Amino acid sequence: MTITETQKPQKPDKRQDKKQAILDSALHLFVEQGFHGTSTASIAKHAGVATGTLFHHFKSKDDLLNHLFISIKQEFADDITQALSTMINTGKDLKTDAEYLWQQAINWALANPIKQRFFLQYSMSSDINSVTRDQAMNGILHFVVALIAKGQQQKIIADFPIALMLENCHGQYLAAIRYFTDNPQWGSDQSQRQASFELFWRSMKAE
């Protein structure tokens, strides 16, 4: 009996392995040395690949940075949406949903310190282009857009332009993870975590 094509064990995709190694190396070097202080040659060396291999996957260092930003943002969003899918009472109370989302977002940041530092350094950076920023805010974080829109319909969340509300959410989140980064002893303190959400909620809710 012969083994069919679908039954054969799949070989690891070395191209994808190399691409991921480049992304992982770029993440560490961009955080430690800054975007402008990091060369493509140093990223390739750190990843254990030829510089030409890096340019095979990414046309420029700017392209690499923006790809990295999107991939980490997508990982963040996937983690949050997976957590939301397991929430029993989701959709019943908007503030409860918002708090659950907020706390899961803080959990992700605390569990991924190097990626958290990347967000803090590059979320407001002009090196992230407008197309990437729009994709991250309106595409990947679509569940936040939906929550804001629902809250505005119910007159629970202030009726300001959604794009502006998104930027406010983003700024509040960055401020919170900066606080918990600078004060790691508060990361597991429930009163501090609750206070961070209340500040966020008060900046969003309708009068």
Domain segments of the chain: what residues? 12-58, 63-204
pLDDT, tens digit (0-9, with 9 covering 90-100), for 18-71: 999 999 999 999 999 999 999 999 999 999 999 999 999 999 999 999 999 999
Query: What span, in angstroms and rounded, lies between the C-alpha atoms of 55 and 49?
Result: 11
Which pTM does this prediction carry? 0.86
Query: What span, in angstroms and rounded, lies between the C-alpha atoms of 13 and 21?
Result: 12
Asked whether the predicted pLDDT for residue 187 surpasses 60, the reply is yes
Looking at residue 9, what is its pLDDT? 46
Mean pLDDT, residues 187-202 taken together = 96
Q: What is the mean pLDDT of the chain?
A: 89
Looking at residue 137, what is its pLDDT? 86
Do the first three CATH levels of 12-58 and 63-204 match, i.e. the same topology?
Answer: no
Q: Output the DSSP codes for 129-161.
A: -HHHHHIIIIIITHHHHHHHHHHHHTT-B--S-
Q: In the 8-state DSSP scheme, what is residue 205?
A: B
Asked whether the predicted pLDDT for residue 82 surpasses 90, the reply is no
Confidence tier at 148 by pLDDT (50, 70, 90)? very high
Q: What is the CATH code for 63-204? A: 1.10.357.10
CB-CB contact of 197 with 190 (8 Å): no
**12-58 adopts what CATH topology?**
Arc Repressor Mutant, subunit A (1.10.10)
